[in-house]
Amino acid sequence: MGIWVYLAAGWVLLVALYGLVTSRNLIHAIGCLAVAQSSTYLLLLAVGYRRGATAPVYSDLIPGTRPVVDPVVQALALTDVVVGATVTALLLALTIQLRKRHHTVDPQGLTGLKG
Partner 1 sequence: MTARTRLVMFLVATTVIAAFFTAACTEVPRFGSDFHPYGQRAVTAALAHRTANVVSSVNFDIRAFDTLGEESILFTTVLGATLLLRLARDEREHPPAAERVLPTTRLFGTVLMPITLVVGVYIVAHGQLSPGGGFQGGVVLATALHLAYVAADYRVLERIRPLTVLDVADSLAAASFTIIGLAGLIAGGAFLKNVLPLGTFNQITSGGTLPVLNAAVGVEVASGLIVLLAHFLDQAVEITDSDSQEAH
Least separation in angstroms between residue 79's CB and partner 1 is: 5
> What single DSSP character describes residue 109?
G
**Interatomic CA distance for residues 49 and 68, integer angstroms:** 9
Query: How many residues line the site for partner 1 (CB under 8 A)?
Result: 49
CA atoms within 13 A on the CB side of 26: 21
Tell me the Ramachandran region of residue 64: left when phi exceeds 0, alpha when psi lies from -120 to 50, beta otherwise: left
Select the residue interacting with partner 1 from 34, 35, 69, 105 (CB under 8 A): 69
Contact between 66 and partner 1 by CB under 8 A: the answer reads no
Contact between 114 and partner 1 by CB under 8 A: the answer reads no
Residues 92-111 that bind partner 1 (CB under 8 A): 92-94, 96-97, 100, 108
- Residue pair 30/53 in contact by the 8 Å Cβ criterion: no
Opening angle at CA 37, ends 98 and 103, nearest 5:
10
Select the residue interacting with partner 1 from 66, 90, 109, 110 (CB under 8 A): 90
Contact between 82 and partner 1 by CB under 8 A: the answer reads yes
Report the length, in residues, of the chain. Answer: 115
Positions that interact with partner 1 (CB under 8 A): 1-7, 10, 14, 17-18, 21-22, 46-51, 55-59, 63, 67-75, 78-79, 81-83, 86, 89-90, 92-94, 96-97, 100, 108
